[in-house]
Amino acid sequence: MFSDALPLAERFASLLATDGVVRGLIGPREVPRLWERHLVNCALLGLGIPRDVTVADVGSGAGLPGLVLAIRRPDLRVTLVEPLLRRTTFLTEAVEQLALANVEVVRDRAEALHGHLSFDVVASRAVAPLDRLARWCLPLVAPGGRMLAMKGSSAADEVAQFAGVIHRLGGRGVTVERYGAHLAERVEGAPITVVEIAVPATSGRA
Ligand SMILES: C[S@@+](CC[C@H](N)C(=O)[O-])C[C@H]1O[C@@H](n2cnc3c(N)ncnc32)[C@H](O)[C@@H]1O
């Protein structure tokens, strides 16, 4: 799953299990299941991201999925967006300790960045219901880019419920995808469920 990046992923896992727990970013009960619930799960999101693009992780928390993507995919330029100081302090220290040259940490709410920053892919995991998430994330997606929201079993219901909001925000071609279904028998943590929302290259956004 991590191939050459495994040693770096192991160092990040150990940071999460130590500093991450002490600082309250990860619950102690998560430690025995860090790999399948967090690292593998977040690395699988990379299956939906093309090479050499810019990625924002909105509501990054302890760097999930953004830091995992940056470790696994050095071709990506990843921006971790997180409003809480305690969390951005952890993220900045992790980026330094892991010597990741492809990560920037931005301490702000996603909506404060509208009109200032945009990305080819705007990713998130466990941040908000899909309508609120679309309001925060879609204005950050560059024309021709995509929003990728990691969701649980509620994904299809949320898509059905919030289709109108997403359309008004300029989101098109909304689908619910399973990434890593082919690995399910071999890899704990696979597959994951992702809501994909495209923003057309010539956007009809309000
Ligand atoms: C439940 S945590 C999830 C963290 C991480 N994505 C994960 O999967 O472990 C939600 C995160 O979203 C952040 N958040 C809340 N509102 C936000 C906003 N408007 N813009 C960006 N991040 C936000 C919170 O500070 C928190 O770190």
What's the CA-to-centroid distance between 163 and ligand 1, angstroms? 23
The pLDDT value recorded for residue 204 is 54
- Taking the model in full, what pTM does it have? 0.96
Cα-based angle 177, 8, 15 (whole degrees, multiple of 5): 95
The pLDDT value recorded for residue 184 is 85
The pLDDT value recorded for residue 186 is 86
Instruction: Convert the pLDDT of each residue in 157-189 to its tens digit.
Output: 999 999 999 999 999 999 999 999 988 888 888
Query: Is 60 near ligand 1, meaning CB less than 6 Å away?
Result: yes
Q: Please, are residues 63 and 84 in contact by the beta-carbon 8 Å criterion?
A: no
The pLDDT value recorded for residue 202 is 83
The pLDDT value recorded for residue 76 is 98
pLDDT < 50 positions in the chain: none
What's the CA-to-centroid distance between 58 and ligand 1, angstroms? 7
The pLDDT value recorded for residue 206 is 55
**Among 127, 136, 150, residue to substitute to test ligand 1 (most atoms within 8 Å of Cβ):** 127
* Strands (E) located in the chain: 54-58, 77-81, 103-106, 119-125, 141-151, 172-179, 192-198
Query: Which residue in 64, 73, 75 sits closest to 42, CA to CA?
Result: 64
Distances (CA, A) of 95 to 91, 98, 170, 183: 6, 5, 33, 29
What's the CA-to-centroid distance between 109 and ligand 1, angstroms? 9
Ligand 1, atom 12, lies closest to the CA of 59
The pLDDT value recorded for residue 205 is 57
